[in-house]
Every structure is written in structure tokens, then in C-alpha cells.
């Protein structure tokens, strides 16, 4: 039995396959997921698991060099944005942050290794994480 890190076998598998600059998305329960992109559905009920709960677990198990967020989160979900910024800056102050339109973020999910669907119900609680390198 695994001792540390993410226990979900699908998430663990996807993270272990990722190389430098590969991406993975964590989304709320309403984010559309392209048919060609792997869906890892974690949603149990509305609100569970939360977006932040999943992001925190993934961030502990992944080197993140860049994040992509929807511009709309600034106005429509500043609380979650603040929590994301705090989490990311505590892990690596040099992590690049890119804001794009929500439409562009949804389009980019088609190039992600997988989309992790949470039970989150707050607006624009979606993020794309770009993998960094574990060595310099």
C-alpha cells in the first residue's frame, strides 16, 4: 500500500507520466471536458471534494512552474483566487501565473493530460497546472 502522496490511482498515474511542460487541469463540477481528454471524476456531491482540497493534494505531489487561470476569477471568485495565489506562492514564489479568458482556458483543457473534476460549485474554480522539472 502506498505510504505518501496521492492515493487515487488515476491521478497518481497521470502525474507520474507527466514531463516538463505537460499540463493537467483541476476543474469545478461544471467545466466541460473534451471527449479526447482523460476525465478523472472525483465529484461525490456538490461541494465535495472542493477545488482547493484537490489542488492542495496535487500541489504537494507535483512541481508546478506555471498556472493558468480564467481572467473572470478575479471578479467572480476573488476568495478562491486569493487561496490559489497563497498556495502557489508558498510552494514556489517564481511560479508563473497566466490569465486567459474562460473560453481560452476551456479550449486549453483539450491539450491537458487529464482533467480532474471536483465537486466545486463556485464560479471559475478551474486551473491548469504546467509541470516543471525536479532538477535544475
Reading the block at residue 108, the C-alpha cell is 486549453
The span from the first CA to the last CA of the chain, in angstroms, equals 31
* The predicted structure's pLDDT at residue 44: 97
Residues in binding site for substrate: 28, 102, 124-126
Q: Residue 4 catalytic?
A: no
Residues in binding site: 28, 102, 124-126
The mean pLDDT value of the chain amounts to: 96
Residue 9 CB partners (closer than 8 Å, separation 6+): none
* The predicted structure's pLDDT at residue 135: 85
pTM of the model: 0.97
Evaluate whether 132 touches 23 at the Cβ level (below 8 Å): no
Active-site annotation holder among 9, 16, 17, 20: 20
Is the per-residue pLDDT at 41 higher than 80? yes
Which residue, 41, 86, 93, is CA-closest to 64?
Answer: 93
Going along the chain from its start, the domains and CATH numbers come out as 9-131 (3.40.1650.10)
Kindly state the average pLDDT of the residues 22-45. 98
Q: Give the E-state strand segments of the chain in sequence order.
A: 23-27, 38-41, 64-70, 96-100, 114-117, 127-131
- Sequence-ordered alpha helix ranges (H) in 27-77: 51-60, 73-76
> Which pLDDT tens digit goes with each residue over 83-100?
999 999 998 889 999 999
Amino acid at each position: 500500500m502506498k505510504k505518501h502522496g496521492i492515493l487515487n490511482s488515476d491521478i497518481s498515474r497521470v502525474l507520474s507520466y507527466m514531463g516538463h511542460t505537460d499540463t493537467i487541469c483541476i476543474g469545478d463540477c461544471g467545466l466541460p471536458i473534451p471527449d479526447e481528454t482523460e476525465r478523472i471524476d472525483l465529484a461525490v456531491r456538490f461541494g465535495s471534494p472542493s477545488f482547493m482540497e484537490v489542488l492542495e493534494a496535487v500541489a504537494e505531489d507535483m512541481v508546478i512552474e506555471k498556472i493558468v487561470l480564467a481572467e473572470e476569477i478575479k471578479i467572480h471568485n476573488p476568495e478562491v483566487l486569493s487561496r490559489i495565489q497563497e498556495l502557489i506562492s508558498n510552494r514556489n514564489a517564481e511560479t508563473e501565473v497566466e490569465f486567459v479568458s474562460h473560453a481560452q482556458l476551456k479550449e486549453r483543457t483539450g491539450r491537458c493530460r487529464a482533467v480532474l473534476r471536483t465537486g466545486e460549485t463556485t464560479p471559475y474554480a478551474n486551473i491548469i497546472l504546467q509541470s516543471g522539472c525536479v532538477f535544475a
